Structure 1
Amino acid sequence: MSISAVSKRLAATGVATALATGALVSGTTGTSSAAVSGGATYTCTVPLLNVPVDVPLSISADALPTEVLADFGVPGGLLPVGGGLEVGGLLGLLSAVPGVTQLGAKLDGFAMLLGNVPVPVPLEAPVGELNPLAAVTGNVGAFKTPAKAGAYDISLPDAFSLVPLGLPIPLDALPCALKDGQDPKVGTVDVTKQSADLRVVRAVKKGKAAKVVAQVVRQDSSKAAGKVAAFVKGTKVASKQLKAGRANLKVKNLKGASKVVVKYLGNSSTKAAKKSVKLR
């Protein structure tokens, strides 16, 4: 997708404004509260020695909002995440290795969960002086929000790999698993339905059967899925599934009617919409 196309999608959903104010919004004014803030302890096993070490991890994402659009593709690199990794136990083991004067770390395979949707967050602590608390930073990678509106927990992963950096001799990645009894939940996000723009692109002639062409575009500029229906005097006279956001409805029984009401019925990720068409 071109930069221009991405910019248009972001503008359509209010994302550009949201990021400028520190919140990714679903078409309404964003809040300043962070969706993610918390932590948990992981047990990381040192290779070869097979020694378990507890590594507490804290994480915060002020830019991640508490409300997002459903079924929306979020581009990567827009939402920063920070935190702290307590590596005192690991430093205790490494102190016996000659020449260890600095340490960094990379968290491979680290992905939070939005409900059951993986949200990749490649976190890394830059190589620096030995410190029992290593600051980790990164940006949320590309992901797609859940397709169904609702409230979803954000959770830390069950496992990841801790890759030590800056050592005089290479050390294999430490497999890390969430310690028993730890609560991985670090936040909650409300996933809301996208609005829909319903357009009727063919007029209807009064008193005659006609074909109504309906087009439905979602808030993120993508083509909607679902069903549209036509109503005359409150009675449904035609319905059809959208195909690539478009449907042709054959409308009959127009005698004595002054308008046709076309409705998009919505779905789990998109709000319903309707439009009246005056008969000529």
Structure 2
Amino acid sequence: MSGVVIVIPARFASTRYPGKPLVELRGATGEARSLIRRSWDAAMEVAGIDRVIVATDDERIAAHAHDFGADVAMTSTSCRNGTERCAEAVENLGLSADIVVNLQGDAPLTPAWFIEDLVAGLRADATAGVATPVLPTSGAMRQDLIADRHAGRVGGTTAVFAADMGALYFSKEVIPFAAGSFDPAEPSPVFHHVGVYAYRPDALKAYPTWAEGPLERLEGLEQLRFLENGRRVLCVRVEARGRQFWELNNPEDVPRLERMMADMSIS
């Protein structure tokens, strides 16, 4: 097949939050749905997608995904991150998609237009084999990121990029450093990296052949492997359009996401 495929990599044995894909989140109406189900629901809202696949190495996740009607690809336990799991799923299924999107299963509040804009951005830039969204932050969101780090929690990831939108670096620290504070409602200089990737087939196929680099190992950020191997990563700026966005990285994020879903009337 050709076109665009979304793969949602999900593993049970998360270091920071074991069993995270099966954690339930309650929406505005009180209905509880698992994190992986909500990520699937988000993927199904994206326009122009030909197929959505949950890729996992865990039978519990696979059985649950089958129960709500998902297309599932089983992968090995040797995959070190979501990009490797996406690459293995594509190879195992024999897919020939023009673009593969990695929608990581911990970002159920990802709006459809983030992915639609991401795919459009990669299609428009022939120099990049991989693209990822970056979201401008308000002073309040920047402060939330800083608060997580001060509390010793590994929270959201931030990104810095060049004038041509090529990524310079990604970090779990809040970068760039800026002295002083910013009005909570006003823009800040920090961009939140949204954990979604769009790959061209050659870039995705090459990725598992490279060794994990020192920066990837230190930060625990899979996208740094592309930069460490001299590959251009395109940052695509996306806009919140009034939507709140956060990822589920730690147990403490569950009530935060549930409050956001209530605020946005997401059932």
Q: TM-score range by the shorter chain?
A: under 0.3
Tell me which structure has the larger Cα radius of gyration. Answer: 1
Q: TM-score, normalised by structure 2?
A: 0.23
Give the number of the structure whose residues are more often helix, by fraction.
Answer: 2
Q: TM-score, normalised by structure 1?
A: 0.22
